[in-house]
Amino acid sequence: MTAPLSVLLKQSTSAAHEEAESSPFMGDLLEGRLDAAAVAALTAQLYTVYGAMESVARSEYGSDPLLAGCLDPALERMPALEADMAFHYGAGWQDRLADGRIVTVPATTAYATLIREHHSAEFMLANHYVRLLGDLSGGQIIHRLVQRHYGIPDDGLNFYLFPGIGKMKQYKDGYRLRLDALALDKDGTEEVLAHAAHAFRLNGDIFADLQLAVGARPQPAA
């Protein structure tokens, strides 16, 4: 008997997930070795990626059977990210992001372009799973540690807050059940799994670029 999709996703992405989580940038950020500017820089990358993902999902996949069950308005991050960008960068941040004064690293631009230009229902489902389930899980740890180390109030960390979903564990369990109920054949399942592993690598590429952009410590030699 084939394992449920949620189990297959966790199993098939474990190595890529661990690699992204162990990036030097995230290690330095979560251990308090950076500063609030690094949090702001990460926020700018998230704003760009989510801008692409939510725009494509809303305009092209709102009624798609693979995605309709996952595209809960309570998960949408753009209003929260807009508030966070205003907190970190002040008035006029949209113009400064557009003209490059707020940095978007190359990996972020590449990821957003991929979402906008090379999407499919399977691609969008995989990326939604990687990003949103990560935000509902590890994102809560990021919120707690960033607040502790850098003294940033919730007014600058709205991205990590999900006031509309109720109890976190119950919601995540329901999300996984919706994934498991999808009518995917073998080829479709394999495509989703491949896209999910790739999504973790794409997010890891963003962390690597941020490491260079904000001056995080270089990764120790093996």
Q: With respect to residue 32, please indicate whether it lies within any of the assigned structural domains.
A: yes
Question: Residue 219: its pLDDT value, please?
Answer: 42
Q: Does the residue 108 lie in any domain? A: yes
pTM: 0.93
**Residues of 77-112 as b/e, b for ≥16 C-beta within 10 angstroms?**
bbebbbebbbbbbeeebeebbeeeebbbbebbbebb
User: Do the domain assignments include residue 63?
Assistant: yes
- 220 CB-side CA count, 13 A: 4
Q: Which parts of the chain register pLDDT below 50?
A: 217-222
**Residue 219 domain-assigned (yes or no):** no
Residue 44 falls inside a structural domain: yes
Annotation-wise, does 10 bind a ligand? Answer: yes
User: What range defines the domain where residue 151 resides?
Assistant: 5-214
Quote the CA–CA distance of 214 and 80 in Å, as a whole number.
Answer: 23
**Is residue 167 annotated as involved in ligand binding?**
no
Are 87 and 24 a contacting pair, CB within 8 Å?
no
- 49: domain CATH number is 1.20.910.10
Q: Is 160 annotated as a binding residue?
A: no
**Residue 154 is which amino acid?**
D
pLDDT of residue 26: 93
Answer yes or no: is 176 a known binding residue: yes
Q: Is 162 exposed, middle or buried (0-12, 13-18, 19+ CB in 10 A)?
A: buried
Query: Looking at the 3D structure of the chain, how many domains does it have?
Result: 1
CB of 177 closer than 8 Å to CB of 152:
no
| DSSP-derived secondary structure for 153-189 | -GGG-GGG--TTS-SHHHHHHHHHHHHHTS---HHHH
Give a yes or no: residue 220 inside a domain: no
Which tokens in the block code for residue 106? 């190359």
